[in-house]
């Protein structure tokens, strides 16, 4: 239900896929451990996402102490209207404090790197055609 709620409230956000379920042999210790690891990575991706981590459904899910709390909150979260096209009008991204001197240095370094890569590719192209 977490993934379903997230896709409804964050329609334009690329979310990681939910790990697949398995119906045969789903109670084997190896499968349970593998799925636990995949679900842990899924939650990790969600909480590192700059927008998804602040979604009410995520904070509610992570704030629940047990299944009963989550089941009590689910109807309320699922009844919230879909965000729809107006979603992007409400996404806020704070300005970053960028040091202009550092940025200039990084850009210069990147420019030198791309020139070197271009020269290297030209020589590879020359040798591959000869």
What is d(CA 101, CA 93) in angstroms, rounded to the nearest whole number? 23
Domain check: are 53 and 107 in the same one?
Answer: no
Domain check: are 80 and 124 in the same one?
Answer: no
pLDDT band for 101, please (50, 70, 90 cuts).
confident
CATH number, domain at 12?
3.30.1520.10
Domain check: are 103 and 124 in the same one?
Answer: yes
Domain check: are 99 and 86 in the same one?
Answer: no
Domain check: are 71 and 113 in the same one?
Answer: no
Torsion, CA 38, CA 59, CA 1, CA 14, rounded to 10:
-60
CA distances from 11 to 6, 8, 90, 114, 115 (A): 8, 6, 12, 36, 39
pLDDT band for 99, please (50, 70, 90 cuts).
confident
Residue-range definition of the domain harbouring residue 45: 2-90
pLDDT digits (tens, 9 = 90+) for 11-27: 888 888 888 887 776 67
SS3 of residue 88 by DSSP: helix
pLDDT digits (tens, 9 = 90+) for 39-98: 999 999 999 988 888 888 899 889 999 989 988 988 888 787 777 777 777 666 666 667
pLDDT at 130 exceeding the cut of 70 = no
What is d(CA 89, CA 43) in angstroms, rounded to the nearest whole number? 26
Q: Count of domains in the chain?
A: 2
Domain check: are 71 and 125 in the same one?
Answer: no
Domain check: are 10 and 40 in the same one?
Answer: yes
List the one residue out of 114, 108, 107, 112 whose CA is nearest residue 122: 114
Domain check: are 99 and 72 in the same one?
Answer: no
Domain check: are 67 and 99 in the same one?
Answer: no
């Amino acid at each position: 239900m977490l993934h379903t709620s997230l896709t409804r409230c964050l329609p334009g956000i690329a979310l990681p896929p939910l790990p697949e379920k398995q119906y045969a042999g789903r109670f084997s210790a190896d499968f349970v451990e593998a799925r636990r690891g995949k679900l842990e990575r899924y939650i990790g991706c969600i909480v590192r996402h700059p927008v998804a981590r602040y979604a009410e459904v995520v904070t509610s899910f992570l704030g629940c102490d047990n299944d009963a709390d989550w089941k009590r909150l689910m109807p309320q979260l699922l009844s919230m209207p879909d965000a729809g096209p107006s979603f992007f009008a409400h996404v806020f991204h704070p300005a970053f404090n960028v040091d202009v001197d550092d940025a200039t240095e990084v850009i210069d370094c990147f420019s030198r790197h791309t020139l070197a890569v271009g020269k290297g590719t030209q020589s590879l192209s020359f040798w591959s055609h000869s």
